[in-house]
Amino acid sequence: MPIFSKSDILNTQRLNFEESLTFDQEVFASNPRINKVEEVVVKGHAYYDDQEDVIRFDVDLSGIMLCPCAITLQELEVAFHTQASLVCSLTKARDEDELEANGDVIDLNPSIFQLLMSEVPLKVTVDNPDYPKGQGWKVVSEKEYTKEKGSEMDPRLAKLKEFKFEDKED
């Protein structure tokens, strides 16, 4: 997990990192839009910005998340990739977006988890799903629904087809 020593970063001009991450499946239990993640890799570099007295992290996060189909609940693989710049204040954090060092330790885990969760799609669907069906009911695609409804005319409006419009000139 990406945990850094403040002194290591201050002693080098640029600290490069690349790590594979694993997350317990339980951390996703409260979010029904994601089941788990696989092959998560975080890489980037950290450097000290002496003008603002902060440590900056340029982070590249990628991997695969397994999300349920919104219609069939079939598990689908969704690739994700995001980049972010994180800032860690060496004194007290100036705003809520800045990380704060805990002694000599800078823990990026909460920020990386937040980045990951921001990439979870609102909904995913299988391209050509086998829609669920039961006795007397079935789920249809929107395309099928409009095709069926487009060919049928509402019987209450059928008489309007016979109506002839007359032009009145004053």
* Range 42-52 average pLDDT: 92
Distance CA 143, CA 52 (A): 56
By 3-state DSSP, what share of the chain in percent is helix, strand and coil, each rounded to 5? 20, 40, 40
Report percent pLDDT > 70 for the chain: 95
**pLDDT tens-digit readout, 68-122:** 998 888 899 999 999 999 999 877 767 777 888 788 889 999 999 999 999 999 9
pLDDT band for 140, please (50, 70, 90 cuts): confident
What's the pLDDT score for residue 157? Answer: 76
The Cβ of residue 74 has, within 10 Å, a number of other Cβ atoms equal to 13
Distance CA 8, CA 16 (A): 11
Nearest to 34 by CA among 5, 57, 65, 3: 65
Longest distance between any two alpha carbons in the chain, whole Å: 92
* Burial category of 46 from C-beta neighbours within 10 Å (exposed 0-12, middle 13-18, buried 19 and up): buried
Residue 68: strand pairing partners: 75
Please check whether residue 79 is in contact with residue 66, taking contact to mean a CB–CB distance below 8 angstroms.
no
Average pLDDT, the chain: 87
pLDDT band for 151, please (50, 70, 90 cuts): low
pLDDT band for 144, please (50, 70, 90 cuts): confident
pLDDT band for 5, please (50, 70, 90 cuts): confident
